[in-house]
Chain A
Amino acid sequence: NAGVTQTPKFRILKIGQSMTLQCAQDMNHNYMYWYRQDPGMGLKLIYYSVGAGITDKGEVPNGYNVSRSTTEDFPLRLELAAPSQTSVYFCASRTDSTDTQYFGPGTRLTVL
């Protein structure tokens, strides 16, 4: 049982490049979330999903897209990377019964 996994762990992008941050969970959770955490700050919700095929925007969705074709995977797409997207990105999944969120280890992204 790996829990929530994220790849890559680190990435440097040039302005204008695109990339996909991968997130997978093996706990059969319906709810999944993407957050970003800027240095010294709290976590901001980017997108969330309540099940396969169902996604919705969080607080800071601009510049990002998501898809949820399976229960296990919830990739986050960055289009036209900007320096303001330099952050640590966390994926999380949540149990239906206890509302406990389990976080992945994070992806540290730098846009230069």
Chain B
Amino acid sequence: QQPVQSPQAVILREGEDAVINCSSSKALYSVHWYRQKHGEAPVFLMILLKGGEQKGHEKISASFNEKKQQSSLYLTASQLSYSGTYFCGTEPSGTYKYIFGTGTRLKVLA
């Protein structure tokens, strides 16, 4: 089943923070995060592996709670360039069948 992301959409002012959540009903081996700008292909942001690690990429970081099968993406001091649709992606343990989440549209206003 497709991971569910929340919120579905969010509008921010430059400099504000945001959190995007991704929840799965299946056991996860890893969680990936991607950003897709309108009319373009998704671009990989980061991967989190089992173990609850937290990773960072510029002012974007993420966490993975394997017990809850949840991941959260944290965007700090948002910039105009952060606008786009964010997808989490998961590969249920023991399979190669990659599944993307429902997506979160983020718009940063000046």
Residue ranges of A at the interface with B (Cβ–Cβ < 8 Å): 31, 33, 35, 41-45, 48, 50, 56, 58-59, 90, 98-106
- Interface status of B42 (Cβ within 8 A of chain A): yes
| Interface 1/0 per residue, B12-42 and A, CB below 8 Å | 0000000000000000001010100000111
Q: Chain A contacts of B101 at CB under 8 A?
A: 42
Contact A101/B32 with A45-B97, A45-B98, A50-B96 known, Cβ cut-off 8 Å: yes
Across chains A and B, the number of contacting residue pairs, with CB separation under 8 Å, is 52
Q: Is the CB of A48 within 8 A of B100?
A: no
Once bound together, how far apart are the Cα atoms of A56 and B47, in whole Å? 24
Residue ranges of B at the interface with A (Cβ–Cβ < 8 Å): 2, 30, 32, 34, 40-44, 47, 87, 89, 91, 96-103
Q: Chain A contacts of B89 at CB under 8 A?
A: 101
Once bound together, how far apart are the Cα atoms of A21 and B6, in whole Å? 33
Q: Is the CB of B44 within 8 A of A101?
A: yes
